[in-house]
Amino acid sequence: METDINSQDRKDLDKFIKFFALKTVQVIVQARLGEKICTRSSSSPTGSDWFNLAIKDIPEVTHEAKKALAGQLPAIGRSMCVEISLKTSEGDSMELEIWCLEMNEKCDKEIKISYTVYNRLSLLLKSLLAITRVTPAYRLSRKQGHEYVILYRIYFGEVQLNGLGEGFQTVRVGTVGTPMGTITLSCAYRINLAFMSTRQFERTPPIMGIIIDHFVDRPYPSSSPMHPCNYRTTGEDTGVTYPSVEDSQEVCTTSFSTSPPSQCVFTVTKAHFQTPTPVVTDTLRVPMAGLAFSHQLSSSRLSYQPAALGVGSADLAYPVVFAAGLNTTHPHQLMVPGKEGGVPLAPNQPAHGAQADQERLATYTPSDGAHCAATPSSEDTETVSNSSEGRASPHDVLETIFARKVGAFVNKPINQVTLTSLDIPFAMFAPKNLELEDADPMGSLHSDGSSGGSSGNTHDDFVMIDFKPAFSKDDILPMDLGTFYREFQNPPQLSSLSIDIGAQSMAEDLDSLPEKLAVHEKNVREFDAFVETLQ
Amino acid sequence: MNCRSEVLEVSVEGRQVEEAMLAVLHTVLLHRSTGKFHYKKEGTYSIGTVGTQDVDCDFIDFTYVRVSSDELDRALRKDALRNSGGDGLGQMSLEFYQKKKSRWPFSDECIPWEVWTVKVHVVALATEQERQICREKVGEKLCEKVINIVEVMNRHEYLPKMPMQSEVDNVFDTGLRDVQPYLYKISFQITDALGTSVTTTMRRLIKDTLAL
């Protein structure tokens, strides 16, 4: 595209876009680490803070971003995308967001690169900081830990939104016009978090007692691996070092002029380093025809597994070491394995790396502070089961994910079950009416009882409409845990305590009293002798 | 030049007022603050670095990002506290302005170029369950407000020109040590539950007094 931009401005613009892309990735990934981010303001320019914002550079993230870009820049038809997804302990994953940095054809030829574009990119980064905290994935990422982790993937090329499910929403973070095109930053995020159980059953039928931990095929074969959004500080033994920000080849020192914009002074100095990083380049490589932009084969991971670097399949992801199951005393709480990992790991992971991951993944527990309004709490199960309309809480995610049940009782369709054929203990005492109706999972705990349905059990103080314990629901077969619970809610009364039987025995006793008294009177002497022996 | 005006409305419970106000104020000021200017010779200047930090709300399911400046945070908290508590409708205005020097005896003129008005409707809730639902709903509402604010900010409409060293105090608040927001002021208007505003009541009182 022919523009009036001079070569120096073009160079500056390319540099700005490159570092903007890197900083964008840092902001997004850091916002999904599950921790609060805090950086300090500095009144004096440090020279290494691009766009006058203190955004730390996680070396691995920079490395992945540079690998994905491979020396190219976002341009028309070539977008840089950061995909954020959730992966459960059972190995199921779900895309949550796609952040896109795109360029379109609308040019602003009058704009000044070194001044206006730079400041607007800075403003856009601030907007990104704000927006990354308001999408639904933020709250999910703050609660990641034992049950699920958040992963990220960077790819370059065409935006792939199909993994977000139906009805995904988009939010535009902002735009900055440049002489080469308009930079646009936007986010498409999933709003339907309940799709997973269906997809799971399409691919893997439930198998009792086996935790399936192989990976589900992705709809689009992506060769760039997922990385978890958690970060190990450089103080730990990693075995691999990535270039930190100080090793980057360019340091930004900006000076601005108060004179008219045409006289802006903008200096960029190149720091000299001993070990130049092979992947870092500030020259713009022209893409060759047929080069696939979106494929970056790598198995490098944030977890610093030296043995795994350069080895492994493209879809390698983290070993997840969780147990999924229902603890009936806390129906909304998953069993959490100990740190030793009592659950089988993904088979193709080095054990030491997996152990390290396991230790690091427990960053946030659901019981943490004020952010657990949407997480299970035993005193507010209504809110949990009826999470806000349209907006799925993390609990909804978990509730639908763990639909496959590992249990002790055989699942049978409830309408084919007769009482005698129920192979559960005390089946003969089960209530006759076993209709299932749709209602809240914890409908029995409603203080005002249930409205409508009845379980047919007249001994109930309240009527249970339907009981669907979390994580035991089975789409194909009816739940037996629920049946078990319902049946044992009302055990039969002891016969000796029942009024009828008691009344009967008392009447008999009264009738037989005169005869007994007569017998005792005959044996008075024997009784007296007995009493004397006792004295 | 017309002053740009944006209005945001939120309904919150009493104890959420302060946090909701701060969330909006900080989100706006994040976009309207720069690093400290350091002027050099030949009319050039360099800009300091702005840090950011996440703030979790205690009474709302919400996290916002603010500029890492305790001074700025203290100043805003002092202002936000004035409008908290009680039922009714409150309105806060965050106004960005430029100073225009006037000749003696006239004082400097303050010309607003952007005004953010936040209307806060305070509701009283009776049960804990309602409060829990309110926590989530207000959190969602604030998310929408942040998106609205960001949308306005990225329209790239009028911003004061970067000033010379002698005029920097006419555009920026240079009193803070670590960051430099545009000159701003915050004003409040509190209306009680009856819909009578304090200012109109005072005005009526003064008028009545003068009429005697």
CB A300 within 8 A of CB A60: yes
pLDDT of A217 higher than 50? no
C-alpha span between A257 and A115 (Å, rounded): 9
Closest C-alpha among A349, A339, A342 to residue A325: A342
A204 vs A174, higher pLDDT: A174
Asked whether residue B198 is assigned to any structural domain, the reply reads no
Asked whether residue B203 is assigned to any structural domain, the reply reads no
Residue contact B153–A129, C-beta within 8 A: no
Sign of the dihedral defined by the CA atoms of residues A47, A50, A56, A58, in that order: negative
CB B170 within 8 A of CB B99: yes
Q: What is the pLDDT of residue A40?
A: 92
Q: What is the pLDDT of residue A506?
A: 75
Name the pLDDT band for A368 (thresholds 50, 70, 90).
very low
Q: What is the pLDDT of residue A191?
A: 84
Residue contact A45–B61, C-beta within 8 A: no
pLDDT of B154 higher than 70? yes
Phi, psi of A154 (to 5 degrees): -110, 130
Residue B114's DSSP bridge partners are: B4, B96
Q: What is the pLDDT of residue A375?
A: 37
Residues 345-384 of A with CB under 8 A from B: 369-371, 373-374, 380, 382-383
Q: Looking at CA atoms only, how far is residue B210 from chain A in angstroms? A: 51
Instruction: Assign A300 to helix, strand or coil.
Output: coil
Mean pLDDT over each residue of chain B, to the nearest integer? 85
Look at the block and give the residue holding tokens 């960053």: A363
* Other CB atoms within 10 A of residue A334 CB: 23
A486–B contact, CB cutoff 8 A: no
Q: Looking at CA atoms only, how far is residue B188 from chain A in angstroms? A: 25
C-alpha span between B12 and B90 (Å, rounded): 11
> HEC states along A353-394?
HHHHHHHHHCCCCCCCHHHCCCCCCCCCHHHHHCCCCCCCCH
Q: Looking at CA atoms only, how far is residue B65 from chain A in angstroms? A: 6
Asked whether residue B72 is assigned to any structural domain, the reply reads yes
Write down the ipTM of this complex: 0.89
Q: What is the pLDDT of residue A221?
A: 39
Q: Looking at CA atoms only, how far is residue B49 from chain A in angstroms? A: 5
CB A255 within 8 A of CB A267: yes
Residue contact A391–B156, C-beta within 8 A: no
Element (H, E) at B89: strand B88-100
- Which of A134, A142, A169, A254 is best to mutate for the B interface (most B CBs within 10 A)? A134
Residue contact B51–A40, C-beta within 8 A: yes
pLDDT of A73 higher than 50? yes
- Which of B13, B24, B38, B47 is best to mutate for the A interface (most A CBs within 10 A)? B47
C-alpha span between A346 and A354 (Å, rounded): 9
Residue contact B54–A369, C-beta within 8 A: no
Q: Among A393-407, A486-500, A513-527, B29-43, where is mean pLDDT lowest?
A: A393-407
CB B90 within 8 A of CB B188: yes
B35 vs A357, higher pLDDT: B35
Closest C-alpha among A55, A31, A118 to residue B52: A55
Name the pLDDT band for A400 (thresholds 50, 70, 90).
very low
Asked whether residue B199 is assigned to any structural domain, the reply reads no
Question: How open is the CA angle A49-A27-B35, to the nearest 5 degrees?
Answer: 35
Cα torsion for A283, A288, A293, A298, to the nearest 10°?
A: -80
Q: What is the pLDDT of residue A437?
A: 41
Q: What is the pLDDT of residue B158?
A: 84
pLDDT of A504 higher than 80? no
Please report the number of interchain residue pairs, chain A to chain B, with beta-carbon separation below 8 angstroms: 168
- The parent domain of residue B74 ranges over 4-191
Q: Looking at CA atoms only, how far is residue A114 from chain B in angstroms? A: 13
Residue contact A129–B162, C-beta within 8 A: no
Q: Among A21-30, A178-187, A383-392, where is mean pLDDT lowest?
A: A383-392
Residue contact B50–A172, C-beta within 8 A: no
Look at the block and give the residue holding tokens 């009447």: A507
Q: Among A127-136, A213-222, A257-266, A377-386, where is mean pLDDT lowest?
A: A377-386
Closest C-alpha among B138, B114, B141 to residue B31: B114
Beta strands in A418-502 (DSSP E): none
Q: Among A1-15, A218-232, B65-79, B93-107, where is mean pLDDT lowest?
A: A218-232
Q: What is the pLDDT of residue B66?
A: 96
Name the pLDDT band for A321 (thresholds 50, 70, 90).
very low
CB A235 within 8 A of CB A244: no
Amino acid at site A374: A
pLDDT in tens, A80-106: 999 999 999 888 889 999 999 999 888
Domain count across chain B: 1
Residue B162: its chain A contacts at CB < 8 A? 256, 258
Mean pLDDT over each residue of chain A, to the nearest integer? 63
pLDDT of B157 higher than 60? yes
